A and B are shown apart, each in its own frame.
Chain A
């Protein structure tokens, strides 16, 4: 889960 989280938050 630490690898490149998606930027889906504002």
Chain B
């Protein structure tokens, strides 16, 4: 464990609490892509199956349980409790265009040809692109509530912090995970546009609005 990874994970935790806070305080999931949230639940479930047969640490175990549980809870909130506030007509990204290529990539790039390892690879590739339905929705509506942008910023920060973590691990542990690093770089790159608007507008106290 190093500070980059710790703060990355904490930022990931924070993003989930911000999202829950957004839903509970506005009593609405307006502006949140159900598809992205469903993809994250898929990512956590397919990646953290090792929870049942592999012990890494108490930290690792607790976080895995938390990510699976919170992502399922968010799906429940969106699908049942606050269902009327979710507008599927603006959440139109075709997720099959993401799932298909991720299956192919997992079959091509993995560390071992076994079910858990293939699912692990699949989850890594899927996580890299899972934010796309959300960003697509943002692009379509052209604006977002400030709290939603804080959620996205915390999620992006988590990914960004994993990059110095990998550099650090390369030098201190001689450890490289090419699949995670490649997918992680792509994932972080997807946030660059968002970060630009977040830093130049939201953090200056303005509303998140995309130029027409």
A interface list, Cβ under 8 A from B: 1-2, 4-5, 7-10
B interface list, Cβ under 8 A from A: 5, 9, 12, 47, 50, 56-57, 60, 63-64, 67, 111-112, 120, 162, 165, 173-178, 180
With A9-B5, A10-B9, A10-B12 known as contacts, the answer to whether A2 contacts B176 (CB < 8 A) is yes
A8 vs B180: C-alpha distance when bound (angstroms): 12
- Which of A1, A5, A9, A10 is the one whose CB lies under 8 Å from B111? A5
With a cutoff of 8 Å between Cβ atoms, the chain B residues found around residue A7 in the complex are: 47, 50, 120
Q: Nearest residue in B to A5 (C-beta to C-beta)? A: B177
Which of B63, B64, B177 has the most chain A CB within a 10 Å cutoff? B177
**A8 & B56 in contact (Cβ 8 Å cutoff):** yes
A interface secondary structure, majority: loop
- Which of B47, B50, B57, B176 is the one whose CB lies under 8 Å from A5? B176
- Which of B67, B112, B174, B180 is the one whose CB lies under 8 Å from A1? B174
